[in-house]
Structure 1
Amino acid sequence: MNTSPATTSTPRVGSPLPYNALIWLAVAAFSTGIDGYVLAGLLPKIAGELSVTEALAGQLVSVFALTSALAAPLLGTATSSWERRRTIALALAVFVLGNLVVALAPIYPVALAGRVIAALGGCLLNAAITGHVIHLAPPEHRGKALSFVLGGWMTATALGVPVGLVLGQTSWRFPLVMVSVVGTVALIGILIKLPKLRLPPTTLAERLLPLKQPRLVAGLLVTTGILCASYTCFTYAVLILSPTHPAGWMMILIMFGYGLASMLGNAFTGRLADRFTPLRVLTVILIGLFANALLGAVAFAAAAPAVIAVLGLAWFFLAGIGNGGAAVPQQARLASMAPQSAAIVMALNASAISLGSALGGGLGGLTLTAGAPAPSLLWVAAGVLALTLILHGVVAGLTARHARQVAADPA
């Protein structure tokens, strides 16, 4: 076990990235990535075995996200005085336990309780990982470091989710066992390789202090909007795409393609965020996501089935590129708004992510329960993205005004 002293120092400019530590954080992100995506491809099986509707089965995804959104600030405050490696390890252990509860659940309420337990560990884990990466990486390589660790999440969608779906053809419970095994491997690596880090403890008021900045609040809501649009469709992707791709192996390949697309988006934007401004990169991504959702909705509504089979895949994979690519520039931009409170801002962003995921899954479920066909979810996502683009413009304007004020009065 690493016994190096705790530190709060920031790496010097020009320091190399500590990949021997970052790799285990990426593996932990890999386990949470499988958990976040694989259930969406197994909704019919889950619904059948637990005797609930597919819309209700989808709430296993939403309750995880909602619990994360509400619990992250409280848990972050309660553990702020803890040494960071210990916090990450404990959070990962709780996450693994929750997934085992879901895997063994005989009835829907027990599965729901397991998702709450997993969320309590997962929300603390994700924020702690991001905060640790920011402190491990030198400033000029933060985009690359975040991209590397988030690549664990993206790799989960490309490799872990398809493998989980293959296992899930026998039982939907097996992928959750796989998540627990991968999480345990990550836990061992973190305890051995991750250096200690102790940050000044914070109160809940201090953690929420950045929310006094209107531009930061609006920026966090941009995160919520992106994830809401994404999960409105992704949670029910199997219902949207299965009419033109009914075979089980087709959905496995489609999820594999989505994961590769997400990895591609993440890999490119991590470097672009270091080269260009995160604002410019994020603007292009948001415009692309909105146009893709709008054109996809039109295609599903008006095109012939044979055409939908092709255009539906194009929409899904392009959404993967955009959703995978949005994370790094958005996180980099938020961190730049409050550089002295980067860890707190990342914790708030984790809550914004979870809130968006919960809203998306819930919004999609309500739309389906109201009797709308699954492809109509693309119209809902397009509407959410339109509002998010407007909010993104507001954030850009507020940020520019703040920069002018600082330039005029540095004191």
Structure 2
Amino acid sequence: MNYRPLIWLAVATFSTGIDGYVLAGLLPAIADDLSVVEAVAGQLVSVFALTSALAAPVLSTFTSRWERRRTIAWSLWVFVLGNLIVGLATTYAIALGGRIVAALGACLLNAAVTGYVIALTPARDHGKALSFVLGGWMAATALGVPVGLLLGQSSWRFPMLLVAVVGTIALAGILLKLPRLHLPAATLAERLRPLGQPRLIAGLLVTTGILCSSYTCFTYATLILRPAFPAGWMMILIMFGYGLASMLGNAVTGRLADRFTPLRVLTVVLAGLLADAVLGAITFRLVPVGAVLGVLGLFWFFTAGIGNGGAAVPQQARLASFAPDSAAIVMALNGSAISLGVALGGGLGGLTLAAGAPPSGLLVVAAAVLGLTLTLHLLVARSRRYDAVPA
């Protein structure tokens, strides 16, 4: 299989990966520069995710008749433009508008890239090709985010400009090297048809719950860990470790899902995440500031990284099994469920902080969300009846 054309798609997902994670480590600097509180600054993450969740199905349908390379190029250009607006913003309102523009490009880009890779490669190579392209996102969590945070020590705007530069490089490569590709158009009704399954809707809500609990804490991780790690360079190393932990979780559960069942693997992951959140909440409440809190705080954060990174593969496999004939559409809807969870998590965390709770109180909220998510997952698992997708 020739991976050369796909390299530029991997670079594109690398840029969106940096954008998706780096802001969480820069909230104090953003809040100070734009004269808002940190909880409000966190909504720059939430509005991006909420826009992506709502716009992805609509934009994908609207552009479904477009040639695929054209769709990818235009969506990447809009994403780059949005990051330039954020990087040059003089007010919070302008930055918020830039995040909305960037989200419109990113959500369409992710859907277009997935469809392009599946259509371009033989069925036997779909897994490897998608892994290669989406590996750009995973690499961003381990490499791009620490680099972005390092640049952010001088100014939080530099990482946004870095994303724009990387996206522009990817855009040039896509226009020069990516072959043209036309795909059959689809209506919005066809894209949403799998939602006729109550079981699938519940499964998508599990995805939303996982991401909501994750981003309730991850968006404000700098605030949660600041008592034990006050220096900015420490958070750079910690975010690097979180990215590696996520990659490890993704790799391990991918192998386990093949050996066992996705249901069993996902159940263990959700139970582990819940236990980790509960123990983390107890730790930050009872352990005084010092070396012990630092070690236990890192254990909580990195374990959450393993679990959050590891939940993706078994969850996607489970959802695809609910509607095997509509797997591509189900994965697109799962993308919207992910974005919705990110938006809800950032918003829920912001409301919790605005209500006067300490940053460590976010772990209690995350544990409650995980408890509901695990309960819903088990209820879905107990249902043996698979609803057929309406023809």
Report TM bin, short chain.
over 0.9
CA distance in structure 2 between the aligned counterparts of 1:193 and 1:273, rounded to whole angstroms? 35
Paired AA for residue 311 in structure 1? L
Aligned ranges 1:372-387 → 2 under 5 Å: 372-387=357-372
The farther-off stretch of 190-199 and 305-314 is 190-199
CA distance in structure 1 between the aligned counterparts of 2:231 and 2:339, rounded to whole angstroms? 31
The farther-off stretch of 273-282 and 47-56 is 273-282
Q: Which whole-Å deviations, capped at 9, do the CAs of 1:129-188 have from their partners, x for residues lacking one?
A: 233334445555544444333322121111111111111111110000100111122223
Deviation at residue 75 of structure 1 after TM alignment: 0.6
Distance 1:269 1:258, change over 3 A: same
Deviation at residue 268 of structure 1 after TM alignment: 2.5
Indicate the SS of the match to 2:311. helix
Residues 27 and 152, structure 1, Cα contact 8 Å, conserved in 2 = yes
Q: Does 1:110 align with 2:94?
A: yes
Partner of 1:300: 284
Distance 1:315 1:143, change over 3 A: farther
Distance 1:135 1:292, change over 3 A: farther
Residues 34 and 161, structure 1, Cα contact 8 Å, conserved in 2 = yes
Distance 1:254 1:263, change over 3 A: same
The farther-off stretch of 200-209 and 323-332 is 323-332
Deviation at residue 378 of structure 1 after TM alignment: 0.6
Q: Which whole-Å deviations, capped at 9, do the CAs of 1:298-346 have from their partners, x for residues lacking one?
A: 1111223232211110111111111112222222332232233222222
Indicate the SS of the match to 1:170. coil
CA distance in structure 2 between the aligned counterparts of 1:30 and 1:173, rounded to whole angstroms? 18
Aligned ranges 1:128-139 → 2 under 5 Å: 128-136=112-120, 138-139=122-123
CA distance in structure 1 between the aligned counterparts of 2:11 and 2:355, rounded to whole angstroms? 39
Partner of 2:375: 390
Aligned ranges 1:307-326 → 2 under 5 Å: 307-326=292-311
Partner of 2:352: 367
Structure 1: gaps of 5 or more residues: 1-15, 407-411
The farther-off stretch of 34-43 and 341-350 is 341-350
Paired AA for residue 374 in structure 1? P
Paired AA for residue 318 in structure 1? T
After superposition, the CA RMSD in angstroms is 2.1
Partner of 1:277: 261
Deviation at residue 21 of structure 1 after TM alignment: 3.5
Q: Which whole-Å deviations, capped at 9, do the CAs of 1:259-316 have from their partners, x for residues lacking one?
A: 1111111222333334443323222221211111111111111223232211110111
Indicate the SS of the match to 2:90. coil
Residues 249 and 309, structure 2, Cα contact 8 Å, conserved in 1 = yes
Partner of 1:97: 81
Instruction: Give the alignment partner of residue 34 of structure 2, picking from 45, 50, 75.
Output: 50
Structure 2: gaps of 5 or more residues: none
CA distance in structure 1 between the aligned counterparts of 2:121 and 2:46, rounded to whole angstroms? 32
Partner of 1:33: 17
The farther-off stretch of 127-136 and 75-84 is 127-136
Distance 1:175 1:293, change over 3 A: same
Distance 1:44 1:345, change over 3 A: same
Partner of 1:13: none
TM-score (norm 1): 0.89
Q: Percent of aligned pairs with the same residue?
A: 76
Q: Which whole-Å deviations, capped at 9, do the CAs of 1:245-270 have from their partners, x for residues lacking one?
A: 00111111111111111111122233
Q: Does 1:204 align with 2:188?
A: yes
Indicate the SS of the match to 2:150. helix
Partner of 2:317: 332
Q: Does 1:402 align with 2:386?
A: yes
Q: Which whole-Å deviations, capped at 9, do the CAs of 1:61-112 have from their partners, x for residues lacking one?
A: 1110111111111111101122222212211111011000101111111101
Q: Does 1:224 align with 2:208?
A: yes
Partner of 2:51: 67
Residues 322 and 386, structure 2, Cα contact 8 Å, conserved in 1 = no
CA distance in structure 1 between the aligned counterparts of 2:29 and 2:171, rounded to whole angstroms? 30
Deviation at residue 191 of structure 1 after TM alignment: 3.0
Partner of 1:157: 141
Residues 141 and 240, structure 2, Cα contact 8 Å, conserved in 1 = yes
